[in-house]
Structure 1
Amino acid sequence: MAKVSMREGQRRTVWRVTAAAPLGEYIDPDAVVAPPRPVPMTPPDPGWLLSSFELADGLDSKDVTDTIPGELFDQLFGASARRR
């Protein structure tokens, strides 16, 4: 059977895989662990619930499919942007 001898004052290290270190890390098992800080809660986005309510309640939507005239496009972005 193998014998393990620990000298006084010698640090122990342990390899550990956690969510914070998915590839693993060396830790000192004798170290004092600080309590985790509370993470502030942010309210979740309303998501599909608000969208469904708006659609059921009669949301007004407009489809604007106008295009920019070629001359105005050339003035704003130059003729070289049109060739791309």
Structure 2
Amino acid sequence: MVYFVNLQLEPIYKTLREDRENSVALQCKRYCNRLFDIECDLHNLSPDERYQKRHELAKPVLDEFFVWLKSLSPATKTGLGQAVS
């Protein structure tokens, strides 16, 4: 019986996993992780070199993030809407 129920629920679980993969929170986390990875790579540089490399490596990621963020256009009364505006 349990096996049958799991077979019936598997398409629902798959959809939930796919929705989670495309969620706004996960997309945002991926941008943050890219920025953290860049910072980790720069930790041995001097402050001036770090500034230069941040501008070179992190700025394009931030620009891409803000373009993505503006494309969401969430309802203004939601938490996401307030965070974006």
Q: Normalising by structure 1, what TM-score? A: 0.21
Structure ranking higher on relative contact order (CA contacts 8 Å, 6+ apart):
2
More helix by share: 2
Greater C-alpha radius of gyration: 1
